[in-house]
Structure 1
């Protein structure tokens, strides 16, 4: 791909993101975007149908990058071979979110603007969806054997909600921070989020899972 094409597309994306510092998304027009991007409307429509098409392109790029980073960070967990205790989970936060934190840090401005009061109210839910999928992938490595998940368990649903929102909210709050919180502090918080009250709920869920399997073995 021609480097000029990449540069022009990135300029248009940056135009919208920078505009969100001044205007709410619903009030942003294509005219506003091209003014901030310093391109013509004709150039804009060469790449995007409208502002919603542009927004989708930006968010898709971020979401796909987030998915890749989380998948890379999951690899060390798959090699554990045992269920880690709380102390080890805290220590694992250093590697279990390393690529994710790096990606979020590199795209901190974009995340911050899209998640601001001027941004897209649906973007947060897209991130939560990614986090929920990742929870389902990581849960067996961190908290139980791979005998299957009792998905209709109310306890598990609550654990998932607390776990996912806790971690995502830390990253969201960090994205809006002006650099006062370093990456190591974020990793420490991510570790603690996984080992406090949710861990106690996990033990309750394990008991439910054991009872569930015992009941079905008797059938």
Structure 2
């Protein structure tokens, strides 16, 4: 049986649509997701089998297939739920001004910090590269929307600049996670925004 204590704290934000399901179905999906995340922390999705997931979750395979077509489908659903929640989360903040940008970055990093194991697993070498791309697309879209009317960049230059900024920020956050979050969220938010706004000139 899966030891839920390790991951339960990281699963509070997942899939609001599951509120419509009965208690047994919610439990089944929760333990299957937790089992896959636990296995992904150790090896890539290509090396994981439905049988392993079911054994860890103490769920039979026929029950698994009533919810998901295979383990790739399960992973895709996990990623969709996380990115949908992050999309909703970011939509509640405005970060046009520099001060607001720092605050938004801090809240995003706090969100990641609270779900450390989940993000550490999905962004590690065993994770699905499309998850990182999903995160980049969300952040890039919000950044470009909030730059509109504020900068003099055209759409093409704005897109390339946001790609540069977001990819750098995500890789800094990945490094921060791997270093056991050695700085506080506000320290990381200020650091990332300093890198973005001032680059190397901030260290002259």
Both proteins in one fold, TM over 0.5: yes
Aligned mate of 1:130, from 138, 142, 145: 138
Aligned mate of 1:185, from 184, 187, 198: 187
Structure 1 residues 198 and 54: alpha-carbon distance in aligned structure 2, compared to 1, 3 A threshold: farther
Structure 1 residues 177 and 93: alpha-carbon distance in aligned structure 2, compared to 1, 3 A threshold: farther
Shift of residue 6, structure 1, vs aligned partner: 1.9
Matched, 1:29 2:36: no
Who is 1:102 aligned against? Answer: 110
State the TM-score, normalizing by the size of structure 2. 0.77
Who is 1:208 aligned against? Answer: none
Shift of residue 94, structure 1, vs aligned partner: 4.1
State the TM-score, normalizing by the size of structure 1. 0.72
Query: Runs (4+) of structure 1 moved beyond 6 Å?
Result: none
Alignment gaps of 5+ in structure 2: 1-20
Instruction: Give runs of aligned pairs for residues 141-156 of structure 1, distance below 5 A.
Output: 143-144=150-151, 150-153=154-157, 156=158
Q: Partners of 1:54 and 1:198 in 2: how far apart? A: 42
Shift of residue 160, structure 1, vs aligned partner: 1.9
Are the equivalent residues in 2 in contact too, given 1:163–1:194 (CA < 8 A)? Answer: yes
Who is 2:3 aligned against? Answer: none
Q: Partners of 2:67 and 2:161 in 1: how far apart? A: 42
Q: Partners of 1:3 and 1:177 in 2: how far apart? A: 38
RMSD: 2.4
SS of the equivalent of 1:97 reads: helix
Are the equivalent residues in 1 in contact too, given 2:140–2:162 (CA < 8 A)? Answer: yes
Corresponding residue pairs, total? 181
